[in-house]
Structure 1
Amino acid sequence: MIPRALTIAGSDSGGGAGIQADLKTFMAHGVYGASAITAITAQNTLEVRAVVLLEPTIVVAQIEAVLDDIGADAVKTGMLGNAAIIEAVADTLARYRIERLVIDPVMVAKSGARLLEEDAITTLRERLLPLALVITPNLPEASVLLNRQVTDEHDMADAARDLHALGPRYVLLKGGHLAGDDVVDLLYDGERFVELRAQRLETNHTHGTGCTYAAAIAALIARGLLVEQAVRQAHAYLHEAIVHAPAIGKGYGPVNHLVHGLPTDR
């Protein structure tokens, strides 16, 4: 049977992030993708023009419809929008005993638009993070979750430890917001740190990178890889997807989700 993954996230009309990026990434890794949409956004590479959050009941109904029939070998969450949706998603995933859960704590779009209401941070921290196999915050998101600034490479180890204490089994702390010739990500499992380093790419084609990274990790976990293997392969995939990004849009363009072509193994 083909591996299956479910993404619970917002829709991006521009196709570079959110549900659209997740489904493209799942397909690129030979995984059948299903989705539960939490929000509809009107956006492109330049801006987010409008956001409409869906009612928690329809978000739950989508998740249940997928899990009751198709099932999921891994689940990934992205934009959740508000506390009510987070509560509903957390309750549903706990009820279905989802163990392979990758959480991308989406808070702000690449253009700067806020994608998570401020009063939802505590709910995200307390209700959803403890359910996660992996969380994938960038440094601004880590700063919000920890109520302190995480601003340099020296802060990252302590931040990863404190994020791990919130309940997830693995923390992937992404260092792309730091200055320097290299981008350093840090994976922590509660005992051991793994550093993933890549050359910084001077490009505007970074729309949806967080979604794509987390979706690749979820897809690879769905295929049976261990977390560290999945993170390493997803890290390499994202770097190549940025290198070979298509010239689409006038702002922060999308990456090339099919950089390696469609997988042929079954």
Structure 2
Amino acid sequence: MIPNVLTIAGTDPSGGAGVQADLKAFSANGAYGMSVLTALVAQTTTGVSEVHEIPPEFVTSQLVTLLDDVRVDAVKIGMLANAEVIRAVIGALDRYAPPFVVLDPVMVAKSGDRLLAPEAVSALRDELLPRVDLITPNLPEAADLLGEAEIEDPAGMPGQADRLAGLGAKHVLLKGGHLRGESSVDLLYGDGISEFLSSERVDTTNDHGTGCTLSAAIAALRPQRPDWISAVREAKDYLTEALRASARLDVGRGHGPVHHFHRWW
């Protein structure tokens, strides 16, 4: 059965990140994609110019209307904007209990523009994190969630992943893309797993939406694979190829998108 996978996130008119990227990644990895919007974001490959936050009551309305009708096999959560929207999402998770929940803690855009209100970090950390099956922070996001300095060496990743798991997440994929080296090393941690996953560091500036794309691919693949490590490995391979093929696209003057449909065109 083709899985139904839901993204709860903000938009990106350029199509490289947010809900638009999630839906592409779902489709590319064999899932039927659905979306609930949390924010309308005026952004391109060069930055964010404005954010219109969706009222939390309407976020709830979108979720209840959808989940009362459609079976959801996995959920990917991205940009949540503020604490009220976070609590609206928590209410739906508690009510409907989807099988797999992947949280990409979107706090800052590639351009450096902040996408999560600073006062909402505690709500994400203390209230939402214990309800998810996998969280996929990069190193700056992990440091922000833990209130500590950003690590600069892979040796510090297991300790930081363990502290994130201690906040309640069942599994942590700590992404080491901000570190230097020929390889990009991530750590999958939790439920008896502590495994470094290495992939080629692709030399490209077309990296807009890589975090959205990876977390969405994992959410699409998890209902189709026997365990988290299988889903994460395959999603990482998919993203690496999407980065390699990104030069075939000509989108924008800044950080361009990855090529979500590299397997087909």
CA distance in 2, matches of 1:42, 1:33: 22
Q: Give the deviation of 1:223 after TM superposition.
A: 2.4
| Corresponding residue number in structure 2 for 1:128 | 128
TM-score (norm 2): 0.96
Gaps of 5+ in 1: none
Number of residue pairs matched by the alignment: 262
Give the conservation status (yes or no) of the 8 Å contact 2:73–2:99. Answer: no
Cα deviations by residue, 1:21-78 (Å, 9 ceiling, x for unpaired)? 0000111112111100000011110111111100001111111122111121000100
| Corresponding residue number in structure 2 for 1:146 | 146
Give 1:80's aligned amino acid.
L
Percent same amino acid at aligned positions?
A: 49
CA distance in 1, matches of 2:96, 2:129: 16
| Corresponding residue number in structure 1 for 2:70 | 70
Shift >2 Å, 4+ stretches: 222-225
Greater mean deviation of Cα atoms: 216-225 or 122-131: 216-225
Q: Give the deviation of 1:224 after TM superposition.
A: 4.2
Q: Give the deviation of 1:171 after TM superposition.
A: 0.3
| Corresponding residue number in structure 1 for 2:114 | 114
Give the conservation status (yes or no) of the 8 Å contact 1:150–1:156. Answer: no
Equivalent residue in structure 2 for 1:251, among 243, 250, 254: 254
CA distance in 1, matches of 2:57, 2:224: 30
After TM superposition, the structure 1 = structure 2 runs for residues 48-197 of structure 1, keeping only pairs within 5 Å, are 48-152=48-152, 153-197=154-198
CA distance in 2, matches of 1:243, 1:216: 16
Give the conservation status (yes or no) of the 8 Å contact 1:18–1:211. Answer: yes
CA distance in 2, matches of 1:204, 1:9: 24
Equivalent residue in structure 2 for 1:260, among 249, 258, 263: 263
Give the conservation status (yes or no) of the 8 Å contact 2:206–2:257. Answer: yes
Give 1:189's aligned amino acid.
G
TM-score (norm 1): 0.96
Give RMSD over aligned pairs: 1.2
Gaps of 5+ in 2: none
Give the conservation status (yes or no) of the 8 Å contact 2:80–2:86. Answer: yes
Give 1:7's aligned amino acid.
T
Structure 1 SS opposite 2:68: helix
